[in-house]
C-alpha cells in the first residue's frame, strides 16, 4: 500500500467550492482500481492564532500584528491510500484530470503532492 498526500490552500471565501470538489470525487475514487481509502481535512483557519493571542499581553499582540500575520487562505490536506503508484497515476490522468480546471480558480498557488511511506 502507498499513501498519497496533497495539500492545497483555498482562497478566502472559496472553501465550500474546494471542499465540494474533493468530496465529489468519492464515486470516481471508489471505482478506481487500487484505491483503498482516503481522508480529507480542512484547517480551522485562525483557531491557532486566536489561541496564541489569548495567552499574550497587549504589547505582545501588538508586536505580533506588526509582524504582518495575515489571512493566507484555508489549507486542505487530502490523504489517499492506494495499492500502488501506477493506480494513482492512472486515476490522475483520467477522471480527476478532466475536472481539475474546475478547482484551479478557487486555489492559491502553493500546493504539494507526493507519495509517502510510513515510518512508524
Report the CATH number at residue 27.
3.30.70.100
For range 4-17, the mean pLDDT? 96
Comparing 64 with 84, which gets the higher pLDDT? 84
- The whole-number pLDDT of residue 71 equals 63
- The whole-number pLDDT of residue 69 equals 61
For range 85-113, the mean pLDDT? 89
* Tally of structural domains, the chain: 1
CA dist., res. 11 & res. 71, Å (int) = 9
Provide the grid cell at 13. 471565501
pTM: 0.84
| Kind and range of the H or E run holding 102 | helix 95-103
Of 111, 118, 120, 43, nearest in space to 81 by CA: 118
CA dist., res. 39 & res. 43, Å (int) = 13
Provide the grid cell at 41. 481535512
Enclosing domain of residue 42: 2-116
Amino acid at each position: 500500500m502507498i499513501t498519497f498526500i496533497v495539500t492545497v490552500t483555498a482562497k478566502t471565501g472559496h472553501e465550500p467550492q474546494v471542499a465540494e470538489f474533493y468530496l465529489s470525487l468519492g464515486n470516481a475514487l471508489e471505482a478506481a482500481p487500487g484505491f483503498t481509502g482516503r481522508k480529507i481535512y480542512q484547517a480551522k483557519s485562525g483557531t491557532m492564532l486566536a489561541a496564541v493571542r489569548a495567552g499574550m499581553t497587549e504589547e505582545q499582540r501588538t508586536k505580533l500584528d506588526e509582524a504582518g500575520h495575515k489571512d493566507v487562505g484555508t489549507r486542505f490536506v487530502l490523504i489517499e491510500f492506494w495499492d500502488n503508484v501506477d493506480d494513482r497515476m492512472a486515476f490522475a490522468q483520467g477522471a480527476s484530470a478532466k475536472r481539475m480546471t474546475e478547482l484551479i480558480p478557487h486555489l492559491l498557488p502553493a500546493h504539494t503532492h507526493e507519495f509517502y511511506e510510513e515510518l512508524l
